[in-house]
Structure 1
Amino acid sequence: MYLLYNILLLVLALPILSGHLLYGLLRGRRRQGVRERFGYYGKDQLAFLAGKKTVWIHAVSVGETQAAVPLVKAFKKRFPDWAVVLTNVTETGHKVATGIAGVDLCLYFPYDFPWTIRRAFSQVKPELVVVVETEIWPNFMRIARLAGIHALLVNGRISDRSFPRYRRLKFFIKPVLQQFTRLCMQSALDAERVEAMGAPAERIEITRNLKFDMQTGGVSEQNPEAIRRKFGFPPDGKVLVAGSTHAGEEELVANVYRRLLKKQPDLCLVLVPRHPDRCPAVGELLSSYNLAYSLRSECGDDPALLTPGSVFLVDTIGELLQFYALADLVFVGGSLVPVGGHNILEAALLKKPVLFGPHMNNFKEISRLLIKAGGGLCIPDSEELFDAAAELLADSDRCQDMGAKGYALLQDNRGATERTLQAIERILGDE
């Protein structure tokens, strides 16, 4: 299996990757972290790791990185002498990772070529590898095992969409899953699925979802009025935040917002595209709807007061919780288009009512629990989004009640971090 995989990497992936990197250079868009992606690190980067035991935590992008935050903080508290290295694939994930307290070194994840992975391991020298959710790279896992490095899958999740594909490729996936020392899954269903894919049953345990252990990073302690002043929002107007939106959703949200203004003329919209590099195109879309907008990046220390009916377009990374904190109502994107949804618990953490669309495959269990608890509503289309938003914006008591119920759900489901830490301690204790 590994021979076939590496042949495919050489024949297919390497030429495509080389062409992609060359095209980016010719277009003046050099990809960040290219040296690190090939396993080359500077001596100054690795200096802090000298003489320390190291845990290598890998989280592909923003969502996985945020899920890892409570685990990073708890690990550092339990093992203060260890160094924590956090790797990402995406540039947005890397930017978020650099701001996490407790992370000693942020790197880009190396391409899964055998020589690249060996070079990376020879320099980082981890005692333990922790993979967040389902980032399973065959050479990375195999070489870690051959080097005697324990590997732990945490917050493991097998989505409805990916499970049939994994089952068809069981001959390929099974040997990779067997490289893990332990697989900590979010739910009983995830545990059943990963076992059906070939993971050894005796290495699987259910530790629940790390996202329930999220922290606000101090945002909840800030005065919402102070946050409003910071960004220039009117002190008394209503605020609708549409977070983590994707192409196809901004148009729906803009149209709903224009209609809501007829019922709620003091309303402001905060629009936070999942990928900030899309903001120029989103700005053009807003202009086509005759909606004035201002960019977060252009907001100075003494911003002008936003006009109700305008849009605050967020073109930065890592500030979503601040905007959720000042919201009266939150819509979480990636859910009205077939993306799979994004983390609805971030808004619930700040006691906000949450709306989301039907495409929540990546958060299926969380969305079910939030709906059952009364902290969120699934709206099937933009028409229902308008109806629900109009009703909630006119009913502050119901908004507060939904926010309180969502927050209570979080408190009732905490504990995944401690269960995961116990799994890590058992692994390290067996050495």
Structure 2
Amino acid sequence: MEKFKGENVTLIAGSTWKPDEELLAAFINNNSNVKYIIAPHEVAPANINRIQELLKKRAICFSKADISDIDTYDVLIIDSIGILSSLYQYGNIAYIGGGFGVGIHNILEAATFKLPVLFGPNYLKFKEAVDLVNEKGAFPIQNFSELEALLNRLLNDKKSLQKASEICKKYIENNVGSTKIIINKVFNKKE
């Protein structure tokens, strides 16, 4: 991952579905100087092939990547399951899929690594997403033009990216221990 990323800003798109992938591909195909990691929710070969066909940039699947030339690719498609959470540490911005369907996937994994998070409009039943949107560490989008505008701002304005990253970091730090608090409340335990 370090060789793939190099010194480039990296966008990690996790748990994506077809509507997410179509929007992302439109952005990827028209933007340079950024590396992209796409970890689709569905890793069946037919879906991986569909994603590759959407892309006009040099793309390679994780299972076929070779350390000797991985840095020559613009897009790395994760065609296996179970490694997404360990990839966020290499990113600068995250796009979390599912927001154009029944709802977004976990955003806290990305926020833990200070990645500002973008996602589709169906996020309101997730408290952490609502909180981070209100604090300006996460950004919902409705369509391609909103995705493009947000990504361009975060990619081209280092202060905006840094501010959103710090908001995510602070949110995670302020909510460490939440699980223990909830369990104690549910089971009427006292500290």
TM-score band by shorter chain is 0.7 to 0.9
The one-character-per-residue Cα deviations of 1:103-149 (angstroms, maximum 9, x if unpaired) are xxxxxxxxxxxxxxxxxxxxxxxxxxxxxxxxxxxxxxxxxxxxxxx
1:370 paired to 2:124: no
Q: How far is the alpha carbon of 1:418 from its aligned partner?
A: 1.6
Unaligned runs of 5+ in 2: none
Q: Give the structure-2-normalised TM-score.
A: 0.86
Q: After TM superposition, where is structure 1 displaced by more than 6 Å over at least 4 residues in a row?
A: none
Please tell me the residue identity of whatever aligns with 2:69: A
1:305 is matched with which residue: 49, 60, 70?
Answer: 70
Counterparts of 2:43 and 2:55 in 1: how far apart (Å)? 20
- Corresponding position: 1:250 with 2:24: no
What number of residue pairs does the alignment pair up? 189
1:274 corresponds to: 41
Specify the code of the residue in structure 2 equivalent to 1:290: K
Partner residue, 1:283:
49
Q: Which amino acid aligns with 1:351?
A: K
Partner of 2:103: 340
- Structure with larger RCO (C-alpha < 8 A, sep 6+): 2
Cα distance in 2 between the residues matched to 1:303 and 1:424: 52
Secondary structure of the residue that 1:276 maps to in structure 2? coil
**Contact (CA 8 Å) 1:241, 1:331: kept in 2 or not?**
yes
Q: Which is greater in Rg? A: 1
Question: Any stretches of 5+ residues in structure 1 without a counterpart?
Answer: 1-226
Q: CA deviation at 1:425?
A: 6.5
Aligned partners of 1:407, 1:288: CA distance in 2, in Å? Answer: 33
Cα shift readout 1:201-249 (whole Å, capped 9, x = no counterpart)? xxxxxxxxxxxxxxxxxxxxxxxxxx412xx33x222211111101222
Query: CA 1:401–1:294 in 2, change beyond 3 Å: closer, same or farther?
Result: same
Residues in 1 aligned to 2:128 and 2:170: alpha-carbon distance in whole angstroms: 13
Is contact 1:239-1:267 (8 Å) kept? yes
Q: Secondary structure at the match of 1:291?
A: coil
Q: Secondary structure at the match of 1:248?
A: helix
User: Which amino acid is the alignment partner of residue 312 of structure 1?
Assistant: L
Alpha-carbon distance in 2 for matches of 1:368, 1:425: 27
Q: 1:244 to 1:362 in 2, by over 3 A?
A: farther
Q: 2:144 is matched with which residue: 363, 376, 382?
A: 382
Choose the corresponding residue for 2:158, options 391, 396, 400.
396
Find the aligned partners of 1:270 and 1:321 in 2 and give their Cα distance. Answer: 12
RMSD (CA atoms) = 2.2
Question: Is the contact made by 1:370 and 1:409 (CA closer than 8 Å) also made in structure 2?
Answer: yes
Measure, in 1, the Cα distance between the counterparts of 2:147 and 2:132. 17
Q: Once the 2 structures are TM-superposed, how far is the Cα of residue 280 of structure 1 from its aligned partner?
A: 3.4
Calculate percent identity across the aligned residue pairs.
Answer: 26
**1:360 offset after TM fit, Å?**
1.2
Q: Contact between 2:28 and 2:57, CA under 8 Å: does it hold in 1?
A: no
Asked if the contact 1:269/1:311 (under 8 Å) is kept, the reply is yes
Name the CA shift for 1:314/1:422 in 2 (closer, same or farther; >3 Å).
Answer: same
How far did 1:307 drift? 2.7
**In 2, are the aligned partners of 1:254 and 1:286 still within 8 Å (CA)?**
no
Structure 2 residue 122 is matched with structure 1 residue 359 = yes
Contact 1:286/1:292, CA 8 A, preserved across alignment: no
